[in-house]
Amino acid sequence: MSEALRKYSMHLYNYFFYIAYASYLPFLSYWFAEEGLSAQQIGFIFSIGPLVGLLTQPVWGMLIDYYGIERPVLILSMGITPWIMFMYRLADHSFAVYVAISVVLAVFASATQPVVDAVTVRHAKKNALSYGAIRVLGSVSFGLCVTVFGMLYDRFGLALLFPVYLFFMMIMCLLSFFLKPEKRDGKKAGVESGQVPRKRIYKEMIPLLKVGSFSLFLIPVFLAAIGPQLNNAFYSVYISHFGGEASGKIGMLYTVSSIAEIPVFLFSGYIIGKLGYVRTLTFVSAAGALRWYILALEPGFEVLMFNQILSGVTYALFLATGINYAYDNSPTHTKTTAHSLFIVVYTNIAGIVASNIGGFVIEAGGYPLLFGGAAALSLLGAAGFSMLGRFKPKKLNNST
């Protein structure tokens, strides 16, 4: 492999990885709805991933930290998850079978995204590249392909998502064989990498949570994260209620949000530097509340398209700001733990709560109640973030 190809190999890797995501992620809940599952059942299935991930991701992390086996783990997870997902088609409309498949799927899928991110960060550091520049390419490929997938599924049937996902994940599995292996001595791994070993993360959580400013930060993170997690579980089902060629509409809407993410990821550091953490988090949460309120009004498709711009901007800026805040506002020896806690609260805990409660809310009051509630919680999150500046103004208003 040439030096130039090796240097930019992770660009290609991320490009195809997010194509694979685009082939199924925006459409899976819609497929479940087409199979006759209720909103409560769909919500329960979507809560399995965050719950299982909460339990299995530390195990995968400890294995990788100790043995340096990122490449074998990626080959295993990417090689097996599409075949497990393909089993959904053989479940014969049995909710119990869907649940069982989802549990097994989550065990292996929980290793994929975190490891891809970790490998990308390591590659960027070693090759004097920007992680953001590599990650943006994933947003580009996702945005370019999701509309094409939507049109294909409208024409040939939604079940096509399973073989399409299988095809692209097999490409990812093959590409994973070309990743440079990272071997390390387990006893020295944590010290050499400058990270807290995974087995110490739980020990570090308690003293970190005793830091009042950090605990206060996690509360509005949870409140503001409910809306995005509801969106992950139910947005495509929500769009299908508008009728017409739903898959194509879903694809176009996700394309708009993905494209909107790109400049935000590229300039997030500049934005945070100008506004500071507190004002940025407060602004993004308030803007998120506006987005959920618009969805509660069940507007026309044109308004939904413009609303997806707000979606991409708020998602990218919230994630970038939250990760940087967690890193910069935690003691040196707990920075890995702080990052892990932020991700756990934003993705796992909020995902479990939102997916389960969301289904009941839809059954009780429909999507206006669901997204109206998300807007209210996001406003509470904005109020919580604004309190951070009063709690510890000098520390919490630092920028990157």
Are 178 and 1 in contact by the 8 Å Cβ rule? The answer is yes
For 53, 61, 333, 340, the CA distances from 196, given in Å and listed in that order, are 20, 11, 7, 11
Which has the closest alpha carbon to 236: 148, 133, 146? Answer: 146
Residue 400 lies in a domain: yes
For 102, 196, 214, 216, 316, the CA distances from 352, given in Å and listed in that order, are 14, 26, 22, 21, 21
- What is the model's pLDDT at position 188? 47
Residue 89 lies in a domain: yes
The domain tally of the chain equals 2
Are 248 and 151 in contact by the 8 Å Cβ rule? The answer is yes
Reported as a single tens digit per residue, the pLDDT across 71-103 is 999 999 999 999 999 999 999 999 999 999 999
Higher pLDDT, 62 or 210: 62
* H helices present in 157-245, as ranges: 161-176, 186-193, 198-209, 212-240
Give the gyration radius of the chain's Cα atoms. 20
Residue 87 lies in a domain: yes
| pLDDT above 70: residue 201 | no
Could you give the percent of the chain with pLDDT greater than 90?
Answer: 61
Are 271 and 281 in contact by the 8 Å Cβ rule? The answer is no
Residue 105 maps to which CATH number? Answer: 1.20.1250.20
Whether residues 174 and 145 fall in one domain? yes
For 146, 275, 313, 316, 400, the CA distances from 265, given in Å and listed in that order, are 19, 16, 9, 6, 14
CA distance 109 to 208: 29
Task: Provide the whole-model pTM.
Answer: 0.88
- pLDDT, average across residues 134-159: 93
- Please, which residues have CB within 8 angstroms of residue 275's CB and are 6 or more apart in sequence? 283, 399
Whether residues 128 and 223 fall in one domain? no
Query: Which domain range does residue 95 map to?
Result: 8-182
- What is the model's pLDDT at position 212? 65
Residue 328 lies in a domain: yes
Whether residues 56 and 173 fall in one domain? yes
